[in-house]
Amino acid sequence: MADLNTVAKQIHNLSPEPIRLFLSDGSSGIFEMNNTEFFQQEFQAEGSKKSDDAAYRFITSDDYEEVLVGKQEPEADEWTMIGEILRVEATSSEGAEEVSLDESHVREVDRSDN
């Protein structure tokens, strides 16, 4: 069996603690996962972002190379694809929304293991 997605493993291992996610659309934020699950290589999670009231879903792409993010605004029926998770960072429950791009504080995903 092939290896699990590195980003998905980080999210799964850090949950239920808050985590900071850096997304491919240039946004970032502190998320709390309600649940995370693996089905063989496939990853699924649901959570919320501390700074808004939207619902978020996280799934691996068809080739399991990326973890994709969907967002559903309150009162909306449709989901919007936001993009891919680029980086995952552990944070405290008191963590602020300010983002430090200092490399000593950010772990980039090493995809060479996949």
What are 66-101's pLDDT values in tens digits? 999 999 999 999 999 999 999 999 987 554 444 444
pLDDT on residue 101: 45
User: What structural domains does the chain harbor?
Assistant: 6-93 (2.30.30)
Q: Quote the tokens at residue 14.
A: 């850090």
pLDDT on residue 102: 47
Query: Is the model's pTM score more than 0.85?
Result: no
Q: Distance between CA atoms of 102 and 112, rounded to whole angstroms?
A: 23
How many CB atoms sit inside 10 A of residue 113's CB?
A: 10
Please list, in sequence order, all residues whose beta carbon lies within 8 angstroms of the beta carbon of residue 20, skipping any fewer than 6 positions away: 28, 29, 30, 31, 88, 89, 90, 91, 95, 99
